[in-house]
A and B are shown apart, each in its own frame.
Chain A
């Protein structure tokens, strides 16, 4: 039943979109037919209408955008866009007279084609704004009112349109540094861009779902077994790293908060050291501490407790346990800080009345503290979990994903998370296509976990629920 609802909802959205599109097109049409000649010229020369009506700031902005867009497309974008389907046909080689012929660069073709496509979409939107501006301008003049002056336009950027002023640069930054690269890499996942197809000397091209098939193929050359191995470890790691830290961190917070314990600030400060000291110092040092020739092993040998060094980082199972344990060292203080403040928010009289009823400390914890904390820190647990799925620093600084094994493909090791594997794949193997595929998988895992937790968590669903 709910499924029906959903599908009808989706259908409704689609039909709604087409309805909107139809009415929008109709509106563009009537603006053109009923508009004056200034409006009509504006359909081709953007900003013409506002300029003629004295709105210089708006008019000039539209006109400049159109000129810039056309210049980009003619001088640059169109040439690349033509090759988007093939990503280039002419590889680098030699002309008959012996000079180098540079040929096509698949990387540039893909990147600039995507940029062109996005710019075209933005341009369409701006063009639509331009049309609407003309319509509004005309309507205001018809009513006998005056249009906002240049000064008013400018001032509105500090008041009514302040959001545009504030968001312009951050949005541009996210677009150029996150969105465009991510769209680019999503496309790379469907090409054969790797060490054997390196731009600019070699071409790469579209291969459809080939890489995804490779990821899920369990043959000797396929990535299937390794991927499954890394994925399972990533989830196991994220689970332990999140919940062990959470419960032990809360326990430490309760311990320090305990009545009669003195020097509370001192204990907290000692713990917080691990947050303050940059991780590359502390974790690299700890990594060396447990190395085969590190201090821990040397002292254990000297004291006669062991004969040969414990292979903390060489044994797969031991290395996995070690990263989880050392992550406690990093993570407990963080949870402790958060819990300290929250624990004090629990009304004291709840505990008092529980005590009168004869509850012991454990019962009080399970019945009062835990439900409250779980409720309040629900969102924190979610961000911690997704953060741990992508916890690059702890794994990479401690083990670099090692121990490596011949059983794993793609340069993966037994403590590799998906992200560290992705990093190695990019840097050491220059296997960009598979790195891109793994990146998409990381996204899927994160998205699925977030969605599931979002639907379970009471505090996210219902903000007023706990009273």
Chain B
């Protein structure tokens, strides 16, 4: 009996050992690119080549790439600011839009509700870039391209965001309707139920919605490059730094890309890690309910 238990224990130890080995291997794969990114950002583009080199560790540790980003000749912080402004406004408006739509579709039954949902579902199946030419023209009419690209991109960012109501509506659906009815008996109207009762109850999903809205503009390349075309003051970080990698790669902008990328990634990553709990809740709920 004791021997059997011992074998069992050994077996367990072995399988845990394998599991740890696999996990460590996975961790290396997942972290290695980031480690390389950080290391290369500390290579000086003055003393060593600033482009692609065939070694990882910089020969001398230097902050030249960062100094460049902070210097006058680089508009990095202008681009950073643009992206931050876009992300902030998109977050505010998109969250309001999604909450409004979700409440209306979850709690109210009105004529054309099914039709609206079906229409938006169908519209969602068209690729977003299809709208690009037309939107560019519309924005141009109002001076919201090139110089005015930042407000233009904010508008593009949130205007159609009502269509992304699925996760939030799914969450609202799980809040019992009896709460609404109780509030109505107490004389509250729907606007009050929405703002005073439902919104405080939906904190996790609001944070999820806001987080997703905030992260998207940092990656927006397609519309940002099209709307701001050729006007460097209106670029966001993604568009601007893309150019360093693709067009100026061999003139040595690679280390500067690494440094800039790191400066973009750090705050976003910290924010995400802090709100990770809500993110998981949101995606899991969304995945199960579809």
Do A and B actually bind?
yes
* B222 lies within 8 A of A376 (CB): no
B182 interface contact, C-beta 8 A: no
* A280 lies within 8 A of B222 (CB): no
A94 and B286 CA atoms in complex are apart in Å by 59
B257 interface contact, C-beta 8 A: yes
A442 and B126 CA atoms in complex are apart in Å by 7
B283 interface contact, C-beta 8 A: yes
A291 and B245 CA atoms in complex are apart in Å by 12
The size of the chain A interface, using a CB distance under 8 A, is 99
Please, which residue of chain B has its CB at the minimum distance from the CB of A172?
A: B159
Instruction: Using known A-B contacts A337-B284, A376-B288, A379-B289, determine if residue A426 contacts B161 with beta carbons closer than 8 Å.
Output: no
* B221 lies within 8 A of A280 (CB): yes
Residues of B within 8 A of A376 (CB): 288
A340 and B108 CA atoms in complex are apart in Å by 34
Return 14 A-B CB contacts under 8 Å, by A number: A158-B191, A167-B162, A170-B161, A178-B163, A182-B123, A271-B26, A280-B261, A281-B264, A281-B265, A282-B33, A285-B37, A422-B127, A426-B133, A432-B133
A294 and B215 CA atoms in complex are apart in Å by 29
A443 interface contact, C-beta 8 A: yes
* A267 lies within 8 A of B160 (CB): no
Interface segment, one of B60-68, B71-79, B199-207, B272-280: B272-280
Interface segment, one of A78-86, A203-211, A254-262, A351-359: A254-262
* B130 lies within 8 A of A179 (CB): no
A294 and B218 CA atoms in complex are apart in Å by 25
A346 interface contact, C-beta 8 A: no
Residues of B within 8 A of A447 (CB): 122, 125
Please, which residue of chain B has its CB at the minimum distance from the CB of A188?
A: B133
Residues of B within 8 A of A439 (CB): 126-127, 129-130
Residues of A within 8 A of B55 (CB): 298
Residues of B within 8 A of A450 (CB): 125
A118 and B268 CA atoms in complex are apart in Å by 42
A176 and B158 CA atoms in complex are apart in Å by 12
Interface segment, one of A60-68, A96-104, A388-396: A388-396
* A173 lies within 8 A of B130 (CB): no
Residues of B within 8 A of A442 (CB): 126-127
- A residues near B (Cβ < 8 Å) are 107, 111, 155, 158-160, 162-167, 169-171, 173-174, 176-182, 184-185, 188, 252, 255-256, 258, 260-261, 267, 269-282, 284-289, 291, 293-295, 298-299, 301-302, 329, 333-334, 337-338, 340-342, 376-380, 382-383, 386, 390, 392-393, 396-397, 418-419, 422-423, 426-427, 432, 435-436, 439, 442-443, 446-447, 450, 460
Name the contact of A177 in the complex, choosing from B160, B262, B264 (C-beta under 8 A): B160
* B52 lies within 8 A of A293 (CB): yes
Residues of B within 8 A of A286 (CB): 33
- B residues near A (Cβ < 8 Å) are 12, 16, 19-20, 22-23, 26-27, 29-31, 33-34, 36-37, 52-56, 97, 100-101, 103-104, 108, 110, 116, 120, 122-123, 125-135, 137-138, 155-156, 158-163, 189-192, 194, 215, 218-219, 221-222, 226, 237-238, 241-242, 245, 249, 254, 257-258, 261-262, 264-265, 268-269, 272-273, 276, 279-280, 283-284, 286-290
Name the contact of A163 in the complex, choosing from B104, B120, B221, B279 (C-beta under 8 A): B104
A269 and B34 CA atoms in complex are apart in Å by 14
* A185 lies within 8 A of B130 (CB): yes
* B129 lies within 8 A of A162 (CB): no
Residues of A within 8 A of B26 (CB): 252, 267, 270-271
| Given A179-B123, A288-B52; 10 other pairs, CB 8 A cutoff | A160-B190, A272-B276, A275-B272, A278-B215, A280-B237, A280-B238, A281-B264, A294-B52, A337-B280, A422-B130
Instruction: Using known A-B contacts A178-B131, A276-B269, A278-B265, determine if residue A377 contacts B288 with beta carbons closer than 8 Å.
Output: yes
Name the contact of A426 in the complex, choosing from B129, B160, B258, B264 (C-beta under 8 A): B129
A302 and B53 CA atoms in complex are apart in Å by 12
Please, which residue of chain B has its CB at the minimum distance from the CB of A184?
A: B134
A153 to chain B, nearest CB (A): 14
Name the contact of A279 in the complex, choosing from B133, B194, B219 (C-beta under 8 A): B219
* B163 lies within 8 A of A174 (CB): yes
Main SS at interface, chain A:
helix
* B110 lies within 8 A of A163 (CB): yes
A281 and B266 CA atoms in complex are apart in Å by 11
A123 and B53 CA atoms in complex are apart in Å by 65
B262 to chain A, nearest CB (A): 8
Instruction: Using known A-B contacts A173-B158, A338-B284, A379-B287, determine if residue A277 contacts B269 with beta carbons closer than 8 Å.
Output: yes
B271 to chain A, nearest CB (A): 8
B12 to chain A, nearest CB (A): 7
B55 to chain A, nearest CB (A): 7
Name the contact of B287 in the complex, choosing from A174, A377, A390, A419 (C-beta under 8 A): A377
* B269 lies within 8 A of A256 (CB): no
Instruction: Using known A-B contacts A273-B30, A277-B265, A294-B52, determine if residue A181 contacts B131 with beta carbons closer than 8 Å.
Output: yes
Instruction: Using known A-B contacts A181-B134, A261-B23, A284-B257, determine if residue A272 contacts B162 with beta carbons closer than 8 Å.
Output: no
Please, which residue of chain B has its CB at the minimum distance from the CB of A162?
A: B190
* A166 lies within 8 A of B104 (CB): yes
Name the contact of B162 in the complex, choosing from A159, A173, A278, A383 (C-beta under 8 A): A173
A199 and B122 CA atoms in complex are apart in Å by 29
Instruction: Using known A-B contacts A272-B273, A273-B30, determine if residue A446 contacts B125 with beta carbons closer than 8 Å.
Output: yes
A286 and B34 CA atoms in complex are apart in Å by 9
